[in-house]
Structure 1
Amino acid sequence: MAGEDQLRHRFTAESVGRALDVLGERWTLLILRESFFGVRRYAQFARNLGIPRPTLSTRLKQLVELGVLDRVVYATEPDRHEYRLTAAGKDIFPALVILMRWGDDHLATPEGPPLVLRHHPCGEPVAPRLVCRHCSEEITTANVTPEPGPGYREG
C-alpha cells in the first residue's frame, strides 16, 4: 500500500505542481476570476482587486508569457492594451468554479455566498460537480485510481 500512496503522490505532485507553478499565487487566481467576468483593462483590475500596481504588472506579464492571457491593443496614440483570456486561460474556468464552490460550502459566512453563478440554459444557480466525460458519472476520490500516463517518467 505504501508504494501505491507514493505513486499517487508522485502523479499529484507532477501535474498539480506544474499547474501551481503557473496559477498557485493568490493574485493570479483573482486576476483570472476578474477576467472570466469581463475585466480586460489594467485600471479595472487594479480598482476591482485593490492589488498593488507592481504586483499586477508582474502577474499580467507572467500570464501573457505563459499563454494564459493575450495582451491586445485596443487604442492607439498612445497604445493602450487590454488582456484577453486565451483558450488555455478559458480552460481554467472549471477549476476556479470548483474552488468557488468549495469556498462557499466550507468557508461561507452566515449570510451565504457572496456571488452566485446562474446557468443560462436552465436558469438555475450553478451547482458544479466533476463528471467523467465518457459516462457522466460523478468523479470522487473513491472511484478513481491514478496510473502512469504517457508523460510518466521513472525517477
Structure 2
Amino acid sequence: MTRFTASGFARAALACTLFASATIAMAQSNSPAGLWQTIDDSTGQAKALVQIIDDGSGTLSGKIVQGLGQNNQPERRCTACTDSRKDQLIKGMTIITGMKPDGSNWDGGQILDPESGKLYKCKMHLEDGGQKLVVRGYMGVSLLGRSQTWVRQQ
C-alpha cells in the first residue's frame, strides 16, 4: 500500500500546478487570445487593455476592458463612430471582429479605431514567442495602413 506524506502530496500538487501553468502559457503563445496592452504607434504610449477571445470556432474578437493614461476615462464615448457603436461607451466596446487563422497569421476581420470612428480591415500576427501582437489596420490593400505592436499582459 502506497502512503503519501503531506510534503509528498504538496510536491505532487506543485508539479501539477507548474505543468498546467506551462501548458496554458504554451497555448497562449500560439494564439492572440488573452489580455493585451495597446501601444500608440505615433506616441509609443500605452492606450488601453484589450481582451481578445476565441468564440470556440477559432474566430477571434476583442473588446476594450480599460483605458490607460489619458484614455482612462470610464465615461468616454465613441462620438466619432458612425455605426451602431455611435455614442456608446468605449470601455467594454468590441473593436475587433471576425479574425480567423490563416497559417501563422489571423486575417479576414475588422478593427475599429474609436478615436476616429473608422472601421478598417485587420490582420495580425504574433512575435517574440507570443508576447507581442502586431495588429495592422488597413483600407483596400495591406500596404495602405498602419501597424501597432501590442504587449501581452499576464
Give 1 or 2: higher strand fraction: 2
Give 1 or 2: higher helix fraction: 1
TM > 0.5 fold call: no
Which band: TM-score by shorter chain?
Answer: under 0.3
